[in-house]
Chains A and B, each alone.
Chain A
Amino acid sequence: MMQNPYVPYKAQIVEIRDEVRGPRPIKTFKMKLVDRERFDYKSGQGCLVSIFGKGESWFTIANSPTRPDLEFSVLKTGKVTAKLHEMKVGDLVGIRGPLGRPFPLDEWKGMNILTIGGGIGQTPLRAIYQYVIDKENDYGDLTIIYGARSSRDLVYREELFKLIEEGYNVHLSIDNPEPGWKYFVGFVPDNVKRIKPEAKNTIAITCGPPIMIKITLNVLKELGFKEDQIYTTLERRMKCGIGKCGKCRIESYYVCRDGPVFSYAELSSMLEKI
């Protein structure tokens, strides 16, 4: 981390991919630090992307540290993200990071990894499955369950289809039927129920809309998952990114510094229920 944690590194946008179009568009930006090598980080950590004159927004790093550069998938939702969506390859932004506590991937060595994602919530999960794929000898089976409202709302679509072709255990779903859709139709938790992943020696990580997470949690418990086998990432309004400004505080934890990754065992010991 930099000397003054409020001062961003200079970064350049090197690639932009449209993930989702329409009224709630998502783009993935690949960025390269300009004056220095990429910093070390771990899956689950985030950065504050800074555009002077607009402000800063927190994004989880969308690619595994085993892959080059830094990727951020950005839902256009406010001032900073609207500006980002207008930007072109070659434009400069600021990056502060890496911030927060990552997934304990080292502790999970030898275990099966199950990711359950919905919508843009797939972002931190992508940083996990890429890592597990790149270090496949270190881990057991990888299962990716992911769904969105419609096929057009699936982020990292091409990458996931390619993983299916390569024989990875990927289960996609959309909420409503569409012509030509070959995979599950229904909500993500129902897909989990259908697939019945084995709880033994497995870590489940679930990210997505709060309601999806809530129901998924119940399904996982029915399948025999214990709270310390389940992880998620929390979302809160963040400004400083270093546990000072108080905005993302839950009890004595700062989501930006002590999260965004939490196990359900940790979350259920808190008074303020998430």
Chain B
Amino acid sequence: MNEVEKIREELKKSGAERIVAFVKKENEPREVLAVLSQKDIDKVTFSPLSVNNPAKLLMQLNGKVAVVAKGCDAMAIRQLIKEGKLKRENLFIVGISCRGVIDYRKLSKIEKLSEIREVRLEGEEVVLKMRNGEKRIPFAEVIEENCLYCEHPTPVIYDVLIGEAREGRKDFSDLEKLEKMSREERWEYWISQFERCIRCHACRSVCPLCYCEECIVDPSNLAISPMSTAEDKASYPRLLGKTVNAKDNAIYHIIRVLHHAGRCSGCGECERACPMELPLRKLERKLEKVVKEVFGYDLNEDIPFFSKLDMLGD
């Protein structure tokens, strides 16, 4: 049985009414997430182009759900369980021991996407089933950079695991280049990145941890409840304007990332969703490092980071 068949088999065995898994996208070689029922089980597929994190989708669904989760997806699911947003008993997690996913944008520079029919991993190579024949390229050439530093390639939570458990990486060598920069250089680097941001909010919208209904960085001056008084609305905190400029954009991204301290699952959805290709993971990674090294917090602890900070007091 190959990986996809095993996934289908386990999803079927789960008996869950609803399934969150990857299906092939029309017209392109990549997969997208879908909510399926048992009768659609044959549509389920999986490949190194099954990149998205299903955790956010799970929050919309009630009842028993079976879900396919890679290492980082499972991190997010566990975090949402910790935060009371998902119930463990409602989930049947088909864990995938992950070797990393393909960076679609990198792949598109190497091969014409419209020629690719199917993608699979074989050893250290990616096998591309093309319109005419097959092509092999080294996985290292197209792997998402984020996956190179993945700490939890094997799901930390699952009901059934597909594939051999594998070790992750625990260092922060990916940050060295930025950390070596002078403050001025770093500022310049980040401003030159933030300046591109168009504030489409895709990074926030896709992030499984950005689930607040009212976000502190929303440019709105409106509170949502019918109970809000005019004074509430008039004095609604407005941290930054809607105007797109590098400094306001910087505030947006920095505040957003700070709210992920000790929570980020490392799935990289933010960076993947960004149409302007901002290196958002670098911010999250730096924060991960600070949480670990300065506060001695480990993401595997049962108690959420912010609760632990409260307990530590001063």
Contacts and interface: CB of A to CB of B under 8 A. Distances in A.
B302 interface: no
Contacts of B231: 82
Contact of B233 (A23, A78, A85): A78
A200 interface: no
Interface of chain B: mostly helix, strand, loop or mixed? helix
Interface hub of B222, B230, B233, B234 (most chain A Cβ within 10 A) = B230
A79 B221 contact: yes
A82 B235 CA distance: 10
A161 to B, nearest CB: 28
Give the contact-size bracket for chain B: under 10
B233 A79 contact: yes
Nearest to A81: B230
A83 B233 CA distance: 11
Contacts of B221: 78-79
Given A78-B221, A79-B221, A23 B234 contact: no
Contacts of A85: 230
Contacts of B222: 78
A247 interface: no
B168 to A, nearest CB: 47
B237 to A, nearest CB: 13
B233 to A, nearest CB: 5
B229 interface: yes
Nearest to B229: A23
Interface in B199-237: 221-222, 229-231, 233-234
Nearest to A85: B230
A268 interface: no
A76 interface: yes
Interface in A213-230: none
A77 interface: yes
Contacts of A23: 229
B235 to A, nearest CB: 9
A53 to B, nearest CB: 12
Contacts of A76: 230
User: Which of B222, B229, B233, B234 has the most C-beta atoms of chain A within 10 angstroms of its own C-beta?
Assistant: B234
Interface string A70-97: 0000001111011101000000000000
B234 A79 contact: yes
Contacts of A78: 221-222, 230, 233-234
A83 B229 CA distance: 13
Interface in B215-274: 221-222, 229-231, 233-234
Contacts of B233: 77-79, 82
B85 to A, nearest CB: 30
Given A77-B230, A82-B233, 14 more contacts: A23-B229, A76-B230, A77-B233, A78-B222, A78-B230, A78-B234, A79-B221, A79-B230, A79-B233, A79-B234, A81-B230, A82-B230, A82-B234, A83-B234
Interface of A: 23, 76-79, 81-83, 85
Interface of B: 221-222, 229-231, 233-234
8 contacts: A78-B221, A78-B230, A79-B234, A82-B230, A82-B233, A82-B234, A83-B234, A85-B230
5 A-B pairs closest in CB distance: A82-B234, A82-B230, A76-B230, A79-B234, A78-B233
